[in-house]
Amino acid sequence: MIVIVVQINVKPECTESFVNESQFMQNKSQKEPGCVGYQILRRIDNPDRFTFIETFESEEAISAHKETAHFKQWRANVYEMMASDRIAGQYNILE
Amino acid sequence: MIVIVVQINVKPECTESFVNESQFMQNKSQKEPGCVGYQILRRIDNPDRFTFIETFESEEAISAHKETAHFKQWRANVYEMMASDRIAGQYNILE
């Protein structure tokens, strides 16, 4: 199991569009066979900041996710909405 | 529901002790009535970096968690193990 944690800062004027695009992509991602969980978190004290917690079964499942139409569409559609580069890391879960 | 995301960098020589202390605290935290989930993630490309994903029912549940003996003990025991200040934020879950 691999968890990807992604931090994204969105331009204030874009947050509503970003949420719509991201929830559409989340919904599709959750249906991928290798996706165990896909959570979108929004910071309480700064609603322009988001953290995505994406749990996949394997490296192969992550590669497959990145090839999906919904991921590519999301990435293209939100690119201009980001206030800075997104920060991502891959993690193991301590059991 | 409130999710706390905490990023912690640990001194390399302390990671084993940090994992032991944190898993003990995680186990106790998961049994708190207001704790919905408590995940400890370890970065694959840098095993000195951890992200805690803590899900609580309410602000009250978070306050209660911070008053528990296991949290206070963990905080005291790992203080010297951290390579830098921990970074924490509180989030809502987008449904």
Query: How large a percentage of chain B has pLDDT more than 70?
Result: 100
Q: How many domains is chain A partitioned into structurally?
A: 1
- Which residues are CB-contacts of B63 (< 8 A; sequence separation ≥ 6)? none
- CA of B50 vs chain A CAs: smallest distance (Å): 8
Residue among A45, A51, A94 minimizing CB distance to B42: A94
Domain interval for residue B41: 2-91
Quote ipTM for the complex: 0.93
Q: If you average pLDDT over every residue of chain B, what do you get?
A: 97
Per-residue exposure over A32-55, b if at least 16 CB sit within 10 Å of its own CB, e if not: bebbeebbbbbbeeeebbbbbbbb
DSSP B67: T
pTM across the whole model: 0.95
Residues 12-71 of B with CB under 8 A from A: 19, 22-23, 26, 39-45, 49, 51, 53
Q: Residue A21's domain is classified under what CATH number? A: 3.30.70.100
For chain A, what is the largest distance between any 2 Cα atoms, rounded to a whole number of angstroms? 40
What pLDDT, on the 0 to 100 scale, is given for residue B30?
Answer: 97
Q: Could you read off the pLDDT of A31-79 as tens digits, one per residue?
A: 999 999 999 999 999 999 999 999 999 999 999 999 999 999 999 999 9
Q: Could you read off the pLDDT of A14-28 as tens digits, one per residue?
A: 999 999 999 999 999
Residue B95 predicted with pLDDT over 80: no
